[in-house]
């Protein structure tokens, strides 16, 4: 059975972009693959996090995984920091990477843009991500389009290691949805929707109450035209809303165009909001149930216990190959 690994940062409340770009695929893949889904808390601290918020968000992301349909009996769900092998292999991978290749990463450029002080962790983030994947020798990594470049680097690092120290790592493949791989911000369709964007109106959060969802969608930026037509180059805002509509309603883009022919954006946006509200309602109910049941800690512990042996084994093998004196 092929192995799948992916993670989400507890760097804020999850967005519809995280759901459509990543979590939906996690739920599908658990039926056919051996899956590892983690809350990547070590990645979240590459930008400053309030300690209490970090703890709360970590639990919240794990609960949302389960609420979205990830079944801990089928997939291992755990927190990255509960498996120390990630950080250890992360360091080993950092020493394999070059400054030049890290400098080319667009996420680093985007997240450091305009900041006076940029943490070194943000710069080496992709080497820890490579370790997350390689530590389990994952075959497939379901991610949104924004992570494609980091995955390329992971592949390069795996190949570099295999070349220097002998074939060991599986070179992983990305698994990116055909539609919805990059949901854009509601207030600026040139930027992807991001949970860490401080502008509240930019993202629909999975736990937003219905009225907040309605308000955010009614205020979402659109062009000055009136045609509901899918054309990301000419009509990026409307096209983005149509992608969200398609995902939440199950309708195709053509069907949506036909439904709103001759109508203005108002009717389209109103219906869109109701589709999003309806899509998120069961997830929110399940989330509240899970949080009040207090089972998340146990799920995370079981997950970490299950995967630790694999991760520890990889680190031992890698260290041995790299020439570390192994303790006897
Ligand atoms: P942050 O702003 O803290 O980086 P984020 O919203 O980008 O948060 P991540 O935890 O970095 O979320 O990414 C989790 C997963 O969600 C990744 O697979 C990423 O590719 C995917 N993803 C993130 N944003 C989007 C988006 N706008 N559209 C589709 N997929 C997305
Ligand atoms: Mg991100």
- Average pLDDT, integer, range 292-312: 98
Q: Which residues neighbour 220 within 8 Å (Cβ) at sequence distance 6 or greater?
A: 186, 187, 201, 237, 241, 269
State whether the Cα torsion 319-161-4-253 is positive or negative.
positive
> What's the whole-model pTM score?
0.96
Centroid of ligand 1 to alpha carbon of 263 (angstroms): 33
The answer to whether the CB of 278 falls within 8 A of the CB of 249 is no
Centroid of ligand 2 to alpha carbon of 89 (angstroms): 21
Confidence at residue 180, expressed as pLDDT on a 0 to 100 scale? 83
The pLDDT tens digits for 2-44 are 999 999 999 999 999 999 999 999 999 999 999 999 999 999 9
Would the CB of 284 count as within 6 Å of ligand 1? no
* Domains of the chain, earliest start first: 3-176+294-322 (3.40.50.620), 200-288 (1.10.240.10)
Would the CB of 61 count as within 6 Å of ligand 1? no
DSSP at 118 = -
Taking 90 as the threshold, does the pLDDT of residue 178 lie above it? no
Would the CB of 182 count as within 6 Å of ligand 1? yes
Confidence at residue 207, expressed as pLDDT on a 0 to 100 scale? 98
The pLDDT tens digits for 229-266 are 999 999 999 999 999 999 999 999 999 999 999 998 99
> Which token pair is 1?
């059975």
- Average pLDDT, integer, range 52-72: 98
Q: What are the C-alpha distances in Å from 4 to residues 19, 82, 113, 151, 307?
A: 17, 19, 32, 13, 13
The helix (run of H) or strand (run of E) holding residue 174 is strand 173-175
The answer to whether the CB of 57 falls within 8 A of the CB of 103 is no
Q: Any idea which of 114-123, 124-133, 248-257 has the lowest mean pLDDT?
A: 114-123
Centroid of ligand 1 to alpha carbon of 279 (angstroms): 19
From 20, 22, 180, mutation site for ligand 1 pocket: most ligand atoms within 8 A of C-beta: 22
Confidence at residue 324, expressed as pLDDT on a 0 to 100 scale? 98
ipTM: 0.99
């Amino acid at each position: 059975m092929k192995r799948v690994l992916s993670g989400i940062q507890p760097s804020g409340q999850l967005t519809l972009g995280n759901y459509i770009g990543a979590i939906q695929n996690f739920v599908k893949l658990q039926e056919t693959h051996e899956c590892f889904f983690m809350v990547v808390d070590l990645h979240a601290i590459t930008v400053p996090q309030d300690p209490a918020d970090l703890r709360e968000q970590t639990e919240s992301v794990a609960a949302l995984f389960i609420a979205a349909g990830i079944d801990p009996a089928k997939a291992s769900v755990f927190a990255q920091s509960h498996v120390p092998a990630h950080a250890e292999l992360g360091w080993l991978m950092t020493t394999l990477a070059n400054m030049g290749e890290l400098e080319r990463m667009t996420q680093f450029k985007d997240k450091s843009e305009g900041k006076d002080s940029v943490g070194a962790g943000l710069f080496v983030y992709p080497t820890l991500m490579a370790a997350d994947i390689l530590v389990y020798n994952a075959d497939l990594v379901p991610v949104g389009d924004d992570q494609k470049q980091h995955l390329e680097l992971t592949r390069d690092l795996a190949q570099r290691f295999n070349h220097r120290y002998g074939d060991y790592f599986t070179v992983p493949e990305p698994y990116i949805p055909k539609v919805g791989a990059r949901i854009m911000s509601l207030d600026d369709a040139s930027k992807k929707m991001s949970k860490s964007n401080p502008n509240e109106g930019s993202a629909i959060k999975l736990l937003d109450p219905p009225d907040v969802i309605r308000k955010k969608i009614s205020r979402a930026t659109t062009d000055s035209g009136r045609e509901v037509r899918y054309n990301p180059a000419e009509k990026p805002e409307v096209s983005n809303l149509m992608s969200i509509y398609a995902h939440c309603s199950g309708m195709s883009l053509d069907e949506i165009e036909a439904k709103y022919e001759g109508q203005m954006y108002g009717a389209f946006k109103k219906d869109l909001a109701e589709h999003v509200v309806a899509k998120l309602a069961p997830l929110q109910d399940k989330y509240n149930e899970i949080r009040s049941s207090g089972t998340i800690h146990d799920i995370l512990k079981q997950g970490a216990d299950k995967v630790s042996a694999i991760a520890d084994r990889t680190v031992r093998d890698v260290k041995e190959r790299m020439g570390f004196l192994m303790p006897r």
